[in-house]
Structure 1
Amino acid sequence: MYSMKSRVRYSETDSGQKMTFQALTNYLQDCCIFQSEDLGIGVDYLKEHAQAWFLASWQIVVERLPVLGEKITVKTWPYNFKGFYGYRNFTIEDAEGKICAYADSQWIFMDLKRERPARISDKMLEEYQMEEPFKMDYADRKIKLPEKMQEKESFQIRPEQIDTNHHVNNEQYIAMAKNYLPENFNIHKMRAEYRKAAVLGDKVFPFVYADDKMYLVSLADEEQKPYAIVEFEQ
């Protein structure tokens, strides 16, 4: 298991001094990036070997949001490799070891030369230490779209949304989708399914569905094929 300690910064909080959902998601992403860097199989290694890990899905459950100045520990560990898929859990704990949030994620190992998924390399299998999966209710990775959704105004991808893989970072899709939530919507559960990568200059066409339990946002191309689908529950 890999862990990193931090303290909730002012820049990571909202008007109520609680950690934003965007900051929470970034902590999870940063934690697994730092593990890879410390193992010597991080961004530069992957670039040199024309490989990449692409996120296929998130499932995040928030028990409570840490607050300004609070000390936290973020933990992550892989629990399964299967073909070209990797599975990874996360937790965020407070100073007393109580869980504030936990998550599951599914990743696809990519051969960038062939531009397609590849069997996970021996190097990855050697370096990552497997742990038992976190005890949680695991949701389906696939998110089904309802037949009728409300179309919103389209927008273009900006340079600051692009990451080292030269496409939109996974957290940015969640931030885009969150813009369609009503004020004071407290996120308890979030699922995100990533279907294809948007790049700089692409146009995004949002479609929104809501009921008394959840909001679902499809961020699609001009043919209404989703780049990502994000589901929020209170």
Structure 2
Amino acid sequence: MYKFAGRIRYSELDREGKLSLESLLDYFQDCSTFHSEDIGVGLKFLQERHLAWVMSAWQIIVERYPVLGERVLIETAPYDFKGFIGWRNFLMETENGERLSCANTVWTLMDMENMHPARVPDELHAAYVLEEKLEMDYAPRKIALPETEGERREKVEVRQHHLDTNHHVNNGQYIRIAMEYLPEGFAIRQMRAEYKKQALLGDIIVPEIYRPADNICLISLNNEEGQAYCVAEFERNMGIV
């Protein structure tokens, strides 16, 4: 697996003094970006071909949240390509090999000129070395919402700070928005996210909250017509450290 070393910073902590889920997601996303840059198929390569990898689904499982100053290794490897879809695993460990968190992701390669999926070209296939799938408890990509209506919250307008280099809301920003609606003290063991539409500058996001079980919180971030941009599922674990 491709890997880089990190150290948990104060700016990455939550109120409990542990690495926040949003910062964990950033570590994973940065790891995949570093990987692509280091093998020559990074941002410039994709932009010259009017291509971009767009996140379709996240699954993150947390075993333990590291604390301030702890040294960690962040690792990633793609394990499959089919048509315009790519699959990639992530892992965060301590220097001693303790597994802190693992993740599975599904990506769609997009032609940014016509905003249609594009088959993965041979040069991308050749650049990445596919590895075995990480051993973890894989969840379905799709997230089903309850049939009952959720609790709607105040609208959120997409601002500049929500956007990435593709000029749409970054996948991590959806998770940051969704986490604002979690109950107090909700310790996250697993996060799943399914991305359905791209939100752009000035778009309005309408959060809708569901609590199908005591340990589950579902948040659908919709447009004003009720169509989901992103659906995020958070599973609670009171015993997590």
Question: What TM-score range do you get, normalising by the shorter chain?
Answer: over 0.9
Structure 1's unaligned 5+ residue stretches are: none
Name the TM-score, length of structure 2 as normaliser: 0.95
**Structure 1 stretches of at least 4 aligned residues deviating more than 2 Å after TM superposition:** none
Superposition deviation, residue 98 in structure 1: 0.8
Alignment partner, residue 160 of structure 1: 161
Map residues 164-183 of structure 1 onto 2, 5 A cutoff: 164-183=165-184
1:50 has 2:50 as partner: yes
Q: SS at 2:172's partner residue?
A: helix
1:90 has 2:107 as partner: no
Alignment partner, residue 114 of structure 1: 114
Q: Deviations over 1:207-231 (max 9, x none)?
A: 0001312000000001100000000
Q: How many residues align?
A: 234
Distance 1:37 1:130 in 2: 17
Superposition deviation, residue 158 in structure 1: 1.1
Superposition deviation, residue 108 in structure 1: 0.4
Name the TM-score, length of structure 1 as normaliser: 0.98
Q: Deviations over 1:38-88 (max 9, x none)?
A: 111111111111001000000000001010000000000000001111000
Map residues 59-78 of structure 1 onto 2, 5 A cutoff: 59-78=59-78
1:7 has 2:7 as partner: yes
Superposition deviation, residue 114 in structure 1: 2.7
Q: Deviations over 1:85-129 (max 9, x none)?
A: 100000000121111000000000111223200110111100010
Distance 1:113 1:209 in 2: 36
**Percent identity over paired residues:** 47
Alignment partner, residue 221 of structure 1: 223
| 1:87 maps to amino acid | W
Q: SS at 1:29's partner residue?
A: helix
Q: SS at 1:114's partner residue?
A: coil
1:133 has 2:133 as partner: yes
Map residues 195-234 of structure 1 onto 2, 5 A cutoff: 195-210=196-211, 211-234=213-236
Instruction: Single out whichever of 145-154 and 4-13 deviates more from structure 2.
Output: 145-154
Superposition deviation, residue 16 in structure 1: 2.2
Distance 1:84 1:93 in 2: 30
How large is the RMSD of aligned CA atoms in angstroms? 0.8
Distance 1:141 1:121 in 2: 24
Q: SS at 2:174's partner residue?
A: helix
Distance 1:113 1:177 in 2: 30
